[in-house]
Amino acid sequence: QVQLVESGGGLVQPGGSLRLSCAASGNIFTITAMGWYRQAPKQRELVATITRCGSTNYADSVKGRFTISRDNAKNTMYLQMNRLKPEDTAVYYCNAVSTSIIWGQGTQVTVSS
C-alpha cells in the first residue's frame, strides 16, 4: 500500500508563490503516475499530473503559473505555484495511481489580501 502526506499550504497574497510537497511512502514502486487536484467548494478538479517517465499535464487555468515536479531520491512530488490568484483558493490533494487510486489528506491554500 502507498501512503501520501501533503505539506506546504497556507495563506498568501495575490501574486505570491507557494510550494506544495507530497511525500510518498510504502510500496512506491507500484506508482505509475501522480498528480495534484483541488476542491473548492464544488467538485474536485485536476491541477497537474506527472507520469513515471516524467510527462506532465496541466489544467488550462494554471498553465504558465504552476509547475509539477518530483524528486525520486526523496520520493516526493512538488507543485510550485506562482502568480497565485484568489480563484486558486482551495484544498489541494495529491494523488497516486498505484494498484488503486490513493489520496493524501489535503492541504489548504488561501489566496487573499
Decide if 93 contacts 8 (C-beta within 8 A): no
pLDDT band at 44 (very low <50, low <70, confident <90, very high): very high
Residue 36: count other Cβ atoms within 10 Å of its Cβ: 26
pLDDT at residue 91 is higher than 90: yes
pLDDT > 90? residue 42? no
Residues whose CB is less than 8 angstroms from the CB of residue 18 and which lie 6 or more positions away in sequence, other chains included: 8, 9, 10, 12, 81, 84, 109
Any idea of the CA torsion for 74, 76, 81, 85, to the nearest 10 degrees?
-150
Determine the Cα–Cα distance for residues 108 and 6; give it in Å rounded to an integer: 10
